[in-house]
Amino acid sequence: MKIVRVECHVAELELEEPYTIAYETVSRAANVLVRIVTDGPLVGCGCAAPDLEVTGETVKSVVDALGGEAATRLHGADPRRWGHVLERMAEPLASHPSARAAIDMALHDLLAKMAGMPLWRLLGGFRDRMRTSITIGILPIDRTTERAVEHVKRGFRALKLKGGRDVDEDIERVRSVRAAVGPKIELRFDANQGYTVEAARRFVRETGDADLEIFEQPTPRELNDGLGQVTRNVPISVMADESLMSLRDAFHLARGRLVDMLNIKLMKVGGIDEALEILAVARAARLRVMVGCMDECALSIAAGLAFAVARPGVSYADLDGHFDIIGDPTSAAVTLREGTLFPSQQPGLGIADLD
């Protein structure tokens, strides 16, 4: 079997409702859908979700990267030697993590299709489903609380609140939501790099009775020492998100004991293969792991879910990036029931081809 060509299609995805985080408001997302076409009947499907602020990429840079040296190196390669192929992608896609993730995803999809198995089973199949949190962007406090209650009524048992712009308002927001949803709902908070060390410590101190489960990326990613100061001085779990972009970052965070948890996103780290290596570092360092996402269609979410359910080292999932997408062409790749995601039982990632 040989790779004949790589095709890219830009999918402009509208969101049902814009959302706000510490540094931007998002109303739409563009994904790059990737097909690895072979000389046989099988096609590998992947997706890139570039984000200039997080991955340093744009849609154009991803398409250009995948159509340049990467395409040349893929042409004629044997996808069954996926480790060799991915290594050949390392140089041309070094600064394009979501583009690497798309190729990685498509190769894994092909491998599982060749085996006639769902990818999540092929990767290990430790569990067959996983509960996900659902994120509430920065809204007025009363609307945040209303939205939290709505999600609980829909069956979600884990909520992630966004903040990082105003610590006083964030404290009130968390308290209001906890009072409304009761003690049994898991609450997580993501400051998206918006706090100083002092503000982060104050936030944790004044929301102590709200029983927050996870405090995500409180300080700027270029100030990992600050992240470590927060971790050492608060009683709840601190998790790295934007500070974790690679295997090297994972090693640095683990060696310095700068966090309690890692949020692995395939788009940041370059795909499933790299994610598995980061998971090994996390397990060795006894760091808990969450699998997260960007604004991604269900095909990409299916890849994150396959990784999440495959191994026992993944404790949490925040795979809600596809919930608000209107007309997702890959929606069949995952199923949501009562706040729990179920992977497809079809070979690969659950999508035979991208029409």
Q: Hey, which residues are catalytic here?
A: 162, 190, 216, 241, 265
d(CA 34, CA 19): 27
d(CA 329, CA 112): 21
Phi, psi torsion values for 269, nearest 5 degrees: -95, -10
Cβ atoms 5, 73 nearer than 8 A? no
Q: Could you tell me the strand order of the sheet in which 3-20 lies?
A: 3-20, 25-38, 43-48
CA distances in angstroms from 337 to 93, 156, 340, listed in the order given: 36, 9, 5
Strands 288-291 and 134-136: unpaired
Q: How far apart, in Å, are the Cα atoms of 119 and each of 107, 265, 320, 349?
A: 11, 17, 20, 6
Q: Which amino acid is at 96?
A: H
How far apart are the C-alpha atoms of 183 and 181, rounded to whole Å?
Answer: 7
